[in-house]
Amino acid sequence: MPESRFALSMDAYELITRNVSEVVTEDEVRALAEDPDGKRAYVGYEPSGVLHIGHMLTANKLIELQEAGFEVVVLLADVHAYLNGKGTFEEIRETATRMQEQFVAYGLEESQTEFVLGSEFQLDEEYVLDLHALELETSLSRASRAMAEIAGGDTATVAQAVYPLMQALDIVYLDVDLAIGGMEQRKVHMLARDTLPSIDADSPTCLHTPLIADLTSGVGKMSSSEGLSISMEDTESDIEEKVNKAYCPPTADPEPTDEGEDRENPVLQIFEYHVFPRFGEVVVDRPEQYGGDLHYESYADLEADLESGELHPADAKGALATYLNRLIEPGREKIREQRSD
C-alpha cells in the first residue's frame, strides 16, 4: 500500500493546501489548520459504477486531510446525479455502494470516513423548505452559470438549476467546516458563499483541486465522457496503452496550440497530483543503454530532469504506468469482487 511520508514533516496548513489550485479563503483555512483534529471536510460525488482519476484526485486531498486530523465526509450524491440526468434513481443508488467500497480500497481511512447518501436527508421537509428559500434568493442565470462546468446534457434544465443550491445546503446539513471540490466546482461554491447567509448559515470555506488536462492533447480537462480517461476498471495494459498515447513534450510548460489554446503536460500533472502525493519516492526504470534507473524524492526533481532532457518522456511514461497501476490495483481488485457477486 502506498504511504505518505509527509504527515510528520509538514505543518498542517501546508499539508492541507498542498497541490490545491485555490484556497477560499486563506485566512479561513489557516484558522482550521490551527486545530484540525475533529474538523469536518467533505466532497460530494455523483455515484458512478467505477472511480476514475478525477475522483481519485479529490480523494488524495481527503486522505491528506485525514492525515492532518480531519474527519472526512463523502457525500454519495444520488439525488444530484438524478437531477443531472444520470439515470433512474434505482440505477444510481445501485452504484453508490460500489463507489463507497472503491474509495476505501483506494485508501480512504474507513474509521475516519463517514459515507452519506444524499437522499438520507435531502428529502426531509426542513431541508426542502430551506432549499426553496435559497431558490428564492438565486437568479436562474446565476444558478445555470454555476452549473455550466458540471451539467451533463447540453440543455439546461430546471433540475440543474436546483442542483447547485442543494450543494450549498449540503454543506450546512452535513455540518462541515471545509468543502472540497475540483476547480469545476468553484462557481457552485462561490454561489454557496454568497447565498447561504440569507438563511443564516455561514459562508463555507473551500479548497479546489486542479483539473488534469486531456491526456492526448494537453488541452482543457480530462473527461470521463470523452477522450481517454483513466479509471479503476482499466487493466494494466489499458493503463500502459493510455499513458503511452498521452501528450508529453519534454517540458512542463508546452507551447499553446495553433489555435492559441493553453496546453499542459498531463503526464507531469499525474506525477504531481497522483503519484508523488501517494508515494514517497519514484524509481524510473530506465534501460542501461540510456543510463540506468533514476530515483526521485520529489516531483520538482522529476520535472527538472524532464525539462533538462535527463529524463526522457518515454521513460517517464513507463514509470507513470507502473505507479498508476499500483495506485489502482486495490480498487481494481474490489471491482472484480463486486462483479463476481
Partner RNA sequence: CGGACCGUAGCGCAGUGGCCGACGCGCUCGGUUGUAACCCGAGAGGACGCAGGUUCGAUUCCUGCCGGUCCGACCA
Q: How far is the CB of 304 from RNA (least distance, A)?
A: 16
- DSSP H or E run through 240: helix 236-245
In angstroms, the CA 243 to CA 218 distance is 12
Q: Residue 118, Cα to own-chain centre: how many angstroms?
A: 19
- DSSP H or E run through 283: strand 282-284
Q: How far is the CB of 322 from RNA (least distance, A)?
A: 14
Cβ nearer to RNA, comparing 29 with 270: 270
Q: How far is the CB of 303 from RNA (least distance, A)?
A: 14
Cβ nearer to RNA, comparing 217 with 338: 217
Cβ nearer to RNA, comparing 180 with 213: 213
Q: How far is the CB of 291 from RNA (least distance, A)?
A: 7
Cβ nearer to RNA, comparing 88 with 289: 289
Cβ nearer to RNA, comparing 19 with 265: 265
C-alpha angle with apex 102: 101 to 104, nearest 5 degrees?
Answer: 65
In angstroms, the CA 54 to CA 272 distance is 14
Q: How far is the CB of 216 from RNA (least distance, A)?
A: 5
Please give the residue ranges that form the binding site for RNA (CB under 7 A).
155, 216, 227, 244-250, 286-287, 290, 312-315, 317
Please name the amino acid found at residue 158. Answer: V
Cβ nearer to RNA, comparing 21 with 141: 141
Please name the amino acid found at residue 233. Answer: E
Cβ contacts of residue 247 below 8 Å, gap of 6+?
213, 214, 215, 216, 217, 218, 254, 263, 265, 266, 267
Question: Phi/psi zone of residue 218: left (φ > 0), alpha (ψ -120 to 50 degrees), beta?
Answer: left
Phi and psi, residue 197, nearest 5°: -55, -25
Cβ contacts of residue 176 below 8 Å, gap of 6+?
40, 41, 42, 73, 204
Cβ nearer to RNA, comparing 187 with 286: 286
Q: How far is the CB of 70 from RNA (least distance, A)?
A: 37
Please name the amino acid found at residue 75. Answer: L
In angstroms, the CA 197 to CA 212 distance is 33
Cβ nearer to RNA, comparing 280 with 292: 292
Q: How far is the CB of 331 from RNA (least distance, A)?
A: 25
Q: How far is the CB of 227 from RNA (least distance, A)?
A: 7
Give the number of other CB atoms < 10 A from CB of residue 220.
14
